[in-house]
Structure 1
Amino acid sequence: MPKIKNIPFQATNQLENGKKILTLSGNIRKRYYSEDKSIDASLIKDALDDVTDDIIIRLNSNGGDVFQGIEIYNYLKNHASNITVEVTGVAASAATFIVAGADKAIMNTGTTFMIHEASSFAWGNKAELQKVLNALEVIDDSIIAIYTKKTGQQKDQLITWMKEEKWFTAEEAVKYGFADEIKEKQKNVENQIDIAALINHSVAEAMREFAAKAQVSNTVETPKETKKETPKQKSLLNKLRKGE
């Protein structure tokens, strides 16, 4: 597998707008002490066990231990909350299982996704090496089952990609079903709706006012008393009628 630059470890969790935000950056492997700078299933469980809000996991990882990755996958699949995973850098190897475990997977612009066959180190005689080979084949079948469930891709296609150590762009990851969408900049729709409502309200008020004024100007008021014409007014009217 091509050498990938090591990703600095980061694991933070916070609450934003009623959602649990868990940021994960680094390699996936079992942690043996509290200060161990790795991502494993126990770290995820400690952060999310008591969470009932929606969850967003921001992920940047080269992957690592396949067994830890699969344990995290199943933990996320069985969690009661709605879980979204956002890839913020790379999701490779075992990190792709975390993506697959989400209810929704989002690729940020410029991010990448990589899948490959399981790998291991082996030493010993033919029998010992054969045991390792058999184990790798079983693990590959497990990985393919995860990808098939997520993507709907045919097994033969997944096997080909895994043998190639296939890298996908964000667009390709969405195209082939590994992710659901590419993240776009969020616009403040609520403010847009408020402004539109304000404009509509102002226009309606102006139209009502205009209609009221038009109605008043077209209404002929009937006087309660008809004023009597003065002799001067009668004389003038008579002259006008006679054409004088």
Structure 2
Amino acid sequence: MLKKIEVDARIKVKNLADLIEAPIVIRLKKFNEESTDKFSEELSKAHETGQPIIPIVVDSYGGQVYSLLGMISEIQNCLLPVATIVESKAMSAGAILFGLGNDGLRFMTPHATLMLHEVSSFQFGKVEDLKADVDETDRLNTYIFDLLDKSCGQSKNYFLDLIHEEHGHADWYMTAKEAKKHNLCNQIRLPRFNVKVSVDYKFE
């Protein structure tokens, strides 16, 4: 995503950071405990800069589902609109988080790819442990895709039904055009974050 800062020529400063707090653009690659902590810190800082919107650039193959849930909680508690942007790829947890950006503010470039699939379980152990793991996986699938359905203005089980019935439970890869058809993506373009710093003279 392009970030452009224009400063009035009448403002003479050596270091722009002395004048303004630059807007935060969050770049998300991984879904783990460390990235969740960093994500939370950056969201908090973005609320302090005075910026009107928080852009999140997702470039990820996915990761841990519980880390995704932590980031979702942070987004749901944001006081500012959240724009999600995919320049190249957003897969698995990345695709879900992308779809939870504010309606109208989900951007993909024409070259980008999304990939959705069901929550995976890779647990090993006793039979009863495996049964518990299956129950938890089913719960997470239902919960996460319900959030995605609501965010994209779709009926309950919309995306899960498509994964099951049209894609045979396999990974579902989407171009920007296909994602737009399902209202996952709102705009097929790369947004700009323009910041203008100016001086206004007034004689009273």
Same fold? TM cut 0.5 = yes
Aligned residue among 29, 38, 42 for 1:43: 38
Question: Deviation per CA, 1:98-134, whole angstroms, max 9, x where unpaired?
Answer: 2133222101111011111111212223222111111
Give the TM-score taking structure 1 as reference length.
0.61
Aligned residue among 175, 179, 203 for 1:173: 179
Question: Deviation per CA, 1:57-116, whole angstroms, max 9, x where unpaired?
Answer: 222101111111122122112211222111011111111232133222101111011111
The structural deviation recorded for 1:143 is 1.4
Map 1:1-244 → 2, pairs under 5 A? 16=5, 19-24=23-28, 26-31=29-34, 40-52=35-47, 53=51, 54-103=53-102, 104-162=105-163, 163-183=169-189
- Specify the code of the residue in structure 2 equivalent to 1:27: K
Give the TM-score taking structure 2 as reference length.
0.72
Whether the 8 Å CA contact 1:151–1:178 is kept in 2: the answer is yes
Largest Rg, 1 or 2: 1
Whether the 8 Å CA contact 1:58–1:86 is kept in 2: the answer is yes
Whether the 8 Å CA contact 1:58–1:87 is kept in 2: the answer is yes
What RMSD over aligned residues (CA atoms) do the two structures have, in Å?
A: 2.4
- Seen in structure 2, the aligned counterparts of structure 1 residues 166 and 29 have a Cα distance that, compared at 3 Å, is same
Whether the 8 Å CA contact 1:21–1:57 is kept in 2: the answer is yes
Whether the 8 Å CA contact 1:116–1:161 is kept in 2: the answer is no
Whether the 8 Å CA contact 2:121–2:134 is kept in 1: the answer is no
- Specify the code of the residue in structure 1 equivalent to 2:39: I
The structural deviation recorded for 1:185 is 7.8
Which protein has the bigger helix share?
1
The structural deviation recorded for 1:164 is 2.8
Question: Deviation per CA, 1:139-171, whole angstroms, max 9, x where unpaired?
Answer: 111112111112233344422333232111111
RCO comparison, higher one (Cα < 8 Å, 6+)? 2
Whether the 8 Å CA contact 1:113–1:173 is kept in 2: the answer is yes
- Specify the code of the residue in structure 2 equivalent to 1:159: L
Whether the 8 Å CA contact 1:93–1:116 is kept in 2: the answer is yes
Whether the 8 Å CA contact 2:30–2:62 is kept in 1: the answer is yes
Whether the 8 Å CA contact 1:63–1:95 is kept in 2: the answer is yes
Show structure 1 runs of 5+ residues with no match: 1-13, 32-39, 189-244
Whether the 8 Å CA contact 2:146–2:157 is kept in 1: the answer is no
Paired with 2:45 and 2:26, the residues of 1 have a C-alpha distance of 13
- Seen in structure 2, the aligned counterparts of structure 1 residues 116 and 48 have a Cα distance that, compared at 3 Å, is same
Paired with 1:63 and 1:16, the residues of 2 have a C-alpha distance of 32
- Specify the code of the residue in structure 1 equivalent to 2:26: L
Show structure 2 runs of 5+ residues with no match: 7-21, 164-168, 195-204
Paired with 1:134 and 1:126, the residues of 2 have a C-alpha distance of 13
* 3-state SS, counterpart of residue 62 of structure 1: coil
